[in-house]
Amino acid sequence: MSCLMVERCGQISFEGPDQNAIRVRMLAPASLGTTSNSSGPGTSPDVWVPFREDQNRSSDLSVAWKKSMPVLNRLWPGGGDRSLGANGGAGSGSESVRSASGSGSGSGAVPAWVWPLGAPVPCGGIPLELPALLKRIRTVWRARLALLGSRRTEVALEREDACSCFAGDGRLRGHTVILSERRGSYPLIDLRLLNNTAQQGETGSRRKLKRLLSFQRYCHASRLLSSLSTHTHTSLHLLDEDYHAQAGHMLSKVGTWNFDIFLFDRLTNGNSLVTLMCHLFNVYGLIQHFQLDMVKLHRFLGMIQEDYHTQNPYHNAVHAADVTQAMYCYLRESKLAELLTPLDVFLALMAAAAHDVDHPGVNQPFLIKTKHHLASLYQNTSVLESHHWRSTVGMLRESGLLSHLPPEETQDIEHQLGSLILATDISRQNEFLSRFRAHLDQQDLNLEDTHHRHFILQIALKCADICNPCRVWELSRQWSERVCEEFYRQGDLERKFDLEISPLCNQQSDSVPAIQIGFISYIVEPLFEEWMRFTDGSELTESMMGHLRKNKAHWRQLRQEPQPGSPLQEEVEGAEESGTP
């Protein structure tokens, strides 16, 4: 950055006696093309500017500067007056501070001083507004640095984009590279808009920048980012206040059962899981209770969200956010809310958010028959659930979120998280259902007991994981179509490699209504009927069971209707064309 050096020279006679003068030296990098003298490289020649009392000093000084300072002429291409004051006033040279640049050039030169920013430079009664002058120089110089920095940033981004076109953000899983895509149904963000600012010189990775934006949105730091993008005329829609207001309004109703997680994901720019978890942690005061570091918490939640595969139609971060919201509703049940400890709430929310992390989009039988390394690692038992748990523990340790807690407490939290996540294994459905029914029949559940509360949390997580048929029809149908699409993709993959097609994965024979009717009848209804007994028919449970019955009736109606492209549909169309009944 340039620096204006001013020397108070005292009584020096130019054309008349008792006249004052100032000596000005402009320090600028050699890249500006300035010539240097004995003062050293990178400095412009010393310029002596006289001031006469019998002439217009302001105009005289301006003309002298334009003629004598080629560097300033380059920085100020418009010329003209340079904020030279016309009011009287004098300062004292003894009040100045010695410059770190040392003394001036030439033998016998008077030592250089930097004039205080708060006072004008006295020169024959004419004050030179040095602060305004310095401010202008800094502004112009920063603009030049911003231009150079933006060019370097564009080159770096072009190189990064060129590499990502081939490699992407790929993860090696066995012999297959799965490219990571951006999460959610929101538009892509042009990262160049965020890098073309003077203050932001670091390119960083796209993933880190997404986490940073998510954290800054939640902390309402849009003013900071807006100030950094003052030179960018393109609007950054991810920081619009309207989206803040709508997302905040939705969070105020996060405890209602008709919460639209798809809309919330769009309003949060695909960061529904991070935003929801931060909000719920604040609602329950878990950050203060466990003395959590907000930076570490955000890092952990960002890692969890990033490890959900966007290409999965169903098992993605939006599903995790939906399960977390459902778990929050269950934790508010009157029979359960009063007896839960902060540790119970912490475990329940963490398990809900991470219960399907790094899900590959295929089920356990597929991993077993393809001899996947995860199936060998976990010996064909709760393969996916074990992987979700171990991945969560690894991210907990990597983020250092619980590093301030005693090792025994940390180990207990990790173990209980595993117990909750492993309970979501659908192959253990009958095991948990029979145990739950037995407790309700014997009426021996004591929620003041730690083990009994943990068992209820396991049941609550299982309910939250399969609660889609209990949502309103508009949301339930979207989830049903997504999970069936994921099944069909697995079936297509099995067909491609000449493997036996898994049940419910054959799109030609397994329709969406048929799959949903069987899922509701054999999995969802038995579990929620027992949950209704446990909650003594609460308002929330009554609402869920009402939606469940209506949705089942909808699917039965759709099953009876001819599907487009089905043999029955073709038979009906043929009968209509021939005129036969």
Known binding positions for Zn(2+)? 319, 355-356, 465
| Annotation: binding site for AMP | 315-319, 356, 465, 516
Catalytic residue among 315, 359, 439, 547: 315
Burial of 92 (0-12, 13-18, 19+ CB in 10 A): exposed
Token output for 88: 């009287």
Closest CA to 454 of 429, 480, 490, 418: 418
Active site residue 415: no
CA gap 71, 365 in Å, rounded: 74
Burial of 265 (0-12, 13-18, 19+ CB in 10 A): buried
Chain CA centroid to CA 475, Å: 25
| Annotation: binding site | 315-319, 355-356, 465, 516
Token output for 68: 């004598």
CA gap 171, 185 in Å, rounded: 22
Contact 96, 115 (CB under 8 A): yes
Instruction: Find the Cα–Cα–Cα–Cα dihedral 286, 290, 294, 297, rounded to 10°.
Output: -80
What 8-state DSSP symbol labels residue 239? G
Burial of 545 (0-12, 13-18, 19+ CB in 10 A): middle
- H helical segments located in 229-271: 241-251, 261-267
Q: Phi/psi of residue 308, each to 5°?
A: -80, 135
* Residue 486 CB neighbours (<10 A): 21
* Residues labelled as active-site residues: 315
